[in-house]
Structure 1
Amino acid sequence: MDPRPLLYLCVRPQRGAADAEYASFRVAMGLDETRLGAWDLVADPLPADAVERYAGFVVGGSPFNVTTPAKDAPQQRLEADLADLADAAASGRTRAMFTCYGIGVVTRRFGGTVAQDYPEGTGATTVTLTDAGRDDPVFGALPERFEAFTAHKESTARLPEGAVLLATNADCPVQAYRLGERLYTTQFHPEVTPQDFTDRMTFYRDGGYFAPSEFDAVAARVLAAPVTEPARILRAFAAFEA
C-alpha cells in the first residue's frame, strides 16, 4: 500500500463551500485529514513535486466554466495546473479523479469538445453505467443504474480520442469517462449527500443554477432525493493503485 496521502484540490473561490466540499470528499472516501490533504488551487499554484508527494488527487467542482471566453489570470493559471496534472495521470505517473468543472478541463486538454449543449439543473438525475463502466475497477463498485447530483452549465459534447465512456444518461450523454488506466472524470458530484448538496446551494443561490426564488422548492427536492451510491466510486478510487 502506498504510504503517501491523497490530495483534494480546491477550485472554488468561495471559502465556505470549499471547506464543506473537502469534508464531503473526506467522509465519502473514508479518510481522515492525515490520509486526504487539501490544497487551495485558487490561491496557490500546485507544487512542482506534487505528483511525487501524493499518491493521487481528487479535484472538486467550481463555479468556473471552461467555455468562458475571457478568463482572468487566476483561472488561466488554475486550469494550466489542472491540465498538467491530467497529463501526469493520463500517462500513468499518478492517479486522479476530476469532477464537475474538472471534466471540462480534461476534455479540452485532450482534444475533446466542451459545450453548453447538455446542461443539467440542480438536483438528482439517474445515471447508467456502460459495459465498460460495469467492468471498470473503480466504477464497477456502483450498481448499473444510480441517482447522482448534478448542477452544471457546460459539459463534454465530444469525448477525447481514446477516452472510455463509463456512465451516461439522456440529458447529458457524457457523465463519466476514463483516459488511460488512472485518469477518471465525472460530470456528476460523487461526494455529496442530500444534506451536503443542500448546504452547498446556499453559496450559489445567485449563481444561475436555479432561480433564487425557487431555493426552498429545489432544496426540498434535493433533500428527498435517494442519492446514496456515488460515494462508492470515491472509496474504490481511494483504494485503487493500478
Structure 2
Amino acid sequence: MTPRPRVLVIQHEDDCPVAMIEPWLAEVGLACDVLAAHEGRAVPAHLVDHVALVVLGGRMGAGDDADHRWLTPTKALITTVVSAGLPFLGVCLGHQLGAVALGGQVRRHVRPTRALHPLGLTDEGRADELLGGLGPVPAVLHWNDDVVTRTPPASTVLARSPDGAVQALRLGPRAWGVQFHPEVTARTVRGWAADRVLTAQEELIVDELARRTPELHRSWARLVHGFGRVVLEEPHPGPVREPS
C-alpha cells in the first residue's frame, strides 16, 4: 500500500490541538504528524518528509518569541514553505505568524473577539480557489485577542469580519491564513478556559457552537478538504532538503 502523503502540524499548547483537521485531512488521503513545539520539540528549518504545513492557534502573541522561543523557527519555516510554493494553512495564531513572517504586522484588537461571525468574503475571496468554492458558510468561530493590522506585500485579503478586521488572507500561491477556527468542537473551546470561568457571553457562544456543530462542521470540513485537495492535486516542487 502506498503511504499517505504527510502534513506537518505545529501545535503551540495542549489546549489547542489539531482537533478535526486530522480526521478531515484523512478523509481526502492525507496523514498528519503533530509537532508539539511547546514541549521542546525542534521546529525544522525545512519540510523534509512532509508535503504541507499547518500551524495551529495558541494564547501567545505572534511577537512573543522571547517567552515562546519556538515561534522564531516557526516563522522561519513558514517563510521557507511559502517561498518554495508548498501548501500552508495558518489557523488564528498560525495565520498571524504567517502574516508577520512574510512582512505584515499584528496588533492587539480593540477588544477580544469571541463570536460566531459570518464569513465576509471579499471579491477576491469569492474568486479564491479555496474559500470561493466553499458554498454557503453559516458562521465561523473567532476566539482571538490580536488581528493582522498590516498585510504582507503580495498577500490578498480574502475575507473581513463584521468590524473590518482581516478574517482570511492568501499569503502565497498555495498559502492561506484564517483568523477563525475551522477545526474546533465545543469541548475544544471549553478547554481554552480551563483555568478560569467562561463569561456569560462566552457560555452562550459555546452553547451555540455545540447546538450547531453538525451544520457548522459540514462547511468547516469543506475548507479543510479543499486545502487537502490543493496539497494532493496541484503539482509541487517537493520538500526542500538541506544540502548534504
What is the SS of the residue equivalent to 1:124? strand
Question: CA separation in 2, counterparts of 1:94 and 1:119?
Answer: 34
1:134 and 1:144 in contact (8 A); partners too: no
2:5 and 2:29 in contact (8 A); partners too: no
* RMSD, aligned α-carbons: 2.9
Question: Which residue in the other structure is 1:181 paired with?
Answer: 173
Question: Which residue in the other structure is 2:6 paired with?
Answer: 5
Change over 3 Å in CA distance of 1:139–1:45 after alignment to 2: same
1:151 and 1:209 in contact (8 A); partners too: no
1:217 offset after TM fit, Å? 3.6
AA aligned to 2:54 is V
1:47 to 44, 49, 58: 44
Question: Mapping of 1:182-197 within 5 angstroms?
Answer: 182-192=174-184, 196=185
User: Are 1:25 and 2:48 an aligned pair?
Assistant: no
1:11 and 1:61 in contact (8 A); partners too: yes
1:164 offset after TM fit, Å? 0.8
Query: Over residues 93-147 of structure 1, what are the superposed CA-to-partner deviations in whole Å (9 max), with x where a residue is unaligned?
Result: 4211011011221222222221123555333111122222222222222126541
Change over 3 Å in CA distance of 1:218–1:140 after alignment to 2: closer
1:232 to 197, 222, 232: 222
1:62 offset after TM fit, Å? 0.6
Question: Mapping of 1:72-221 within 5 angstroms?
Answer: 72=67, 75=68, 77-117=69-109, 119-143=111-135, 146-192=138-184, 196=185, 198-205=186-193, 210-211=198-199, 216-221=203-208
1:216 offset after TM fit, Å? 4.1
2:108 and 2:147 in contact (8 A); partners too: yes
Can you give the 5+ residue segments of structure 2 that lack an aligned partner in the other structure?
235-244
AA aligned to 1:150 is H
Question: CA separation in 1, counterparts of 2:178 and 2:60?
Answer: 16
**Identity in percent:** 20
Can you give the 5+ residue segments of structure 1 that lack an aligned partner in the other structure?
none
User: Are 1:64 and 2:54 an aligned pair?
Assistant: no
AA aligned to 1:106 is G
Aligned residues: 227
1:149 and 1:227 in contact (8 A); partners too: no
Larger % of helix: which?
1
Give the TM-score taking structure 2 as reference length. 0.80
1:51 and 1:93 in contact (8 A); partners too: no
